[in-house]
């Protein structure tokens, strides 16, 4: 999964990037687009790895891109560089400044920044959708295709993001190549001074975030980056001082998985214990294709053990002996934490 950090110059994107990735990219203005990979912590994988002692243990990963803002840009922080970078992300994280930045004149106004960013995305999308409509009409596109873009244009004209379309209509797969921005899942990180780290998101901002079909979380990036660099024992104590119970990375991942409706399933064995990220509701055969296309093509059945059941019995054999191993067909919708073994024949 790829998540792009975007927003106004000086909102703390690079600080958030360092916080999440554990890297130490210099903060301050500008810089290059950077990428950093984060392993999604998962205690279930830790445990499975202890049980199977595999040659390799693979966690789910998120790749973050830190996209510098443009100084003085009133355009929602979207530079040309940012626009290019945004277009191939699976989700966007808008970092909103809610702290006094001594090198910026403007007092923090996260609600105004959110709206500026949104407006900029809407305008960029309108341009694309109108171009599509023009060309579609000239080249005799199907009525259905035209209708689809008309529907999008109507939404955008009203300032409504394309992501508000019902899932069936949204159909992300077919939108992929168009480079739209408001169809992208959006996470809004309110970046605050440490003295306000544990206060909830202000009501008006929370409401606006919900209206935009986005998910919000509160961070205090500078101090949380310092805390993230400490050992696990110290982390808990320092977080508690801020009134927090969970690390920023854990909060971020939970929010992102919730927003994107993602779950994990696992494969286990002596070779590898591995987490796979899928959208909730993905069927067994399709999920098998994530592992290898042969497994999807030659899919026969899936043997499934929910993680909790495995944990209760302690080994695959014990699960089998207790009659708790399930055999599922291709249309089985995987649940979070399912351990899956695919039977296939090609």
Q: Which residues bind Mg ion (CB under 5 A)?
A: 13-14, 68
Asked if 106 and 66 count as a contact pair (C-beta separation under 8 A), the reply is no
32, 120, 258, 294, 343 from 332: Cα distances, Å? 44, 41, 21, 18, 14
Q: How far is 247 from 143, CA to CA, in rounded Å? A: 50
Q: Of 13 and 75, which CB lies nearer to Mg ion in the complex structure?
A: 13
Letters for 93-132 (x = contact with ligand GTP by CB under 6 A, - = none) are ------x-x-------------------------------
Choose one: 42-50, 187-195, 302-310, 312-320; the region binding ligand GTP (CB under 6 A): 187-195
Residue 282 near ligand GTP by CB under 6 A: no
Q: Is 222 in the site for ligand GTP (CB under 6 A)?
A: yes
Determine, following the binding rule CB under 6 A, whether residue 22 of this chain makes contact with ligand GTP.
Answer: no
Minimum distance from residue 255 beta carbon to ligand GTP (Å):
17
Q: Which two tokens stand for residue 278?
A: 């899928």
> Which residue in 6, 60, 69, 218 binds ligand GTP (CB under 6 A)?
69
- Taking the C-alpha atoms of residue 249 and residue 125, their distance in angstroms, rounded to an integer, is 31
Q: How far apart are CA 279 and CA 264, in angstroms?
A: 8
Nearer to ligand GTP, 188 or 340 (CB): 188
| Spatial distance between the Cα atoms of 32 and 179, rounded to a whole number of angstroms | 21
Among 3, 4, 12, 149, the residue binding ligand GTP under the rule CB under 6 A is: 12
**In degrees rounded to 5, what are phi and psi of residue 8?**
-65, 155
Task: Pick between residue 114 and residue 304 the one whose CB is nearest to ligand GTP.
Answer: 114
The least CB distance from residue 190 to ligand GTP, in Å, is 10
Contact residue for ligand GTP among 23, 27, 123, 126 (CB under 6 A): 27
CB atoms within 10 A of CB 13: 32
Least Å from the CB of residue 208 to ligand GTP: 21
Q: Is 11 in the site for ligand GTP (CB under 6 A)?
A: yes
Mark the segment that binds ligand GTP (CB under 6 A) among 7-15, 114-122, 148-156, 158-166.
Answer: 7-15
* Beta bridge partner(s), residue 274: 58, 267
Do residues 191 and 220 touch, judged by C-beta distance below 8 A?
A: yes
Only one residue has tokens 């399933």, namely 265
Choose between 38 and 221: whose C-beta lies nearer to Mg ion: 221
Selected from 9, 248, 268, 339, the binder of ligand GTP by CB under 6 A is 9
Residue 313 burial (10 A CB sphere; 0-12, 13-18, 19+): middle
Question: Which does residue 28 touch among ligand GTP, Mg ion, none (CB within 5 to 8 A, set by kind)?
Answer: ligand GTP
Report whether 163 contacts 182 (CB < 8 A).
yes
Residue choice 3, 4, 6, 15 for contact with ligand GTP (CB under 6 A): 15
Spell out the residues 6+ positions from residue 315 whose beta carbon is closer than 8 angstroms to its own: 51
Which residues of this chain interact with ligand GTP, rule CB under 6 A? 9-15, 27-31, 68-69, 99, 101, 191-193, 220-222
């Amino acid at each position: 999964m790829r998540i792009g950090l975007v927003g106004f110059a000086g909102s703390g994107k690079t600080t958030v990037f360092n916080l999440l990735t554990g890297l130490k990219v210099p903060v301050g203005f500008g810089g290059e687009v950077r990428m950093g990979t984060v392993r999604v912590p998962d205690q279930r994988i830790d445990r499975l790895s202890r049980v199977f002692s595999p040659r390799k243990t693979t966690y789910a990963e998120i790749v973050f891109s830190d996209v510098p803002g443009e100084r003085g840009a009133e355009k929602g922080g979207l530079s040309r560089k940012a626009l290019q970078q945004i277009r191939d992300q699976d989700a966007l994280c808008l970092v909103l400044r809610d702290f006094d930045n001594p090198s910026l004149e403007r007092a923090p106004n996260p609600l105004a920044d959110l709206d500026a960013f949104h407006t900029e995305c809407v305008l960029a999308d309108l341009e694309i959708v109108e171009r599509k409509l023009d060309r579609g009409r000239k080249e005799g596109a199907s009525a259905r295709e035209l209708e689809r873009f008309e529907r999008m244009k109507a939404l955008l004209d009203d300032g409504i993001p394309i992501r508000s379309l019902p899932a069936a209509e949204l159909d992300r797969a077919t939108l992929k190549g168009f480079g739209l921005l408001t169809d992208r899942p959006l996470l809004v990180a309110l970046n605050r001074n440490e003295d306000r780290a544990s206060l909830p998101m202000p009501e008006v901002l929370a409401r606006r975030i919900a209206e935009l079909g986005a998910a919000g979380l509160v961070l205090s990036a500078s101090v949380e980056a310092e805390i993230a660099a400490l050992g696990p024992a110290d982390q808990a104590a320092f977080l508690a001082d801020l009134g927090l119970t969970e690390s920023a990375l854990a909060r971020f991942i939970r929010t992102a998985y919730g927003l994107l409706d993602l779950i994990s399933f696992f494969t286990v064995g002596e070779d590898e214990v591995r987490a796979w990220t899928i959208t909730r509701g993905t069927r067994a055969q399709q999920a098998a294709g994530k592992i290898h296309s042969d497994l999807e093509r030659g899919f026969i059945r899936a043997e499934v053990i929910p993680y909790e059941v495995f944990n209760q019995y302690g080994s695959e054999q014990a699960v089998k002996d207790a009659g708790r191993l399930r055999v599922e067909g291709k249309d089985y919708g995987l649940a979070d934490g399912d351990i899956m073994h695919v039977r296939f024949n090609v």
